A and B are shown apart, each in its own frame.
Chain A
Amino acid sequence: MGLKAYTGEGWLLTKMEELINWGRKRSPWPLPYGTACCGIEMMCALAASYDMARFGAERPSFSPRQADVLIEAGTISKKMAPILRRIYDQMAEPKWVIAMGACACTGGVFRTYSTLQGINRVIPVDVYVPGCPPRPESLLYALMKVMEKIEKDHPLRALFDREIGQVDLRSCP
Chain B
Amino acid sequence: MSLKDQVQSCLGPLVVAVSECQGDLSVEVSRENIKAALSKLKEDPGLSFDFLSDLFGVDNSELYKKTAAKPAKKAEAETAPEEPPKPQEFPPRFEVIYLLLSLKTNKRLQVKVRVPEENPVVDSVVSLFKAATWPEREAYDMYGIRFNGHPDLRRLLMWEGFPAYPLRKDYPLEGRGEERHLIYD
Contact = CB atoms under 8 A, between A and B. Distances in A.
Interface stretch (A31-39, A60-68, A108-116, A140-148): A108-116
B182 A111 contact: no
Contact of B159 (A79, A111, A112): A79
Interface string A96-136: 00000000000000011110100001100000000000000
Contacts of A111: 173-174
A79 B174 contact: no
B158 interface: yes
Nearest to B171: A113
A85 interface: yes
Interface string A43-85: 0000000000000000000000000000000000011011001
Given A112-B173, A113-B171, A82 B158 contact: no
Interface in B163-185: 166, 171-176, 178-179, 182-183
User: DSSP majority for the B interface?
Assistant: loop
B80 interface: no
B182 A78 contact: yes
Interface of A: 78-79, 81-82, 85, 111-114, 116, 121-122
30 contacts: A78-B179, A78-B182, A78-B183, A79-B157, A79-B159, A79-B182, A81-B179, A81-B182, A82-B182, A82-B183, A85-B183, A111-B173, A111-B174, A112-B173, A112-B174, A112-B175, A113-B166, A113-B171, A113-B172, A113-B173, A113-B174, A113-B175, A113-B176, A113-B178, A114-B157, A114-B158, A114-B175, A116-B179, A121-B183, A122-B183
Given A81-B183, A113-B173, A113-B175, 20 more contacts: A78-B159, A78-B178, A78-B182, A81-B182, A82-B183, A85-B183, A111-B173, A111-B174, A112-B173, A112-B174, A113-B166, A113-B171, A113-B172, A113-B176, A113-B178, A114-B157, A114-B158, A114-B166, A114-B175, A116-B183
Q: Which 9 A-B residue pairings sit nearest by Cβ, starting from the closest? A: A113-B175, A78-B179, A79-B159, A113-B166, A81-B183, A82-B182, A122-B183, A112-B173, A111-B174
Interface of B: 157-159, 166, 171-176, 178-179, 182-183
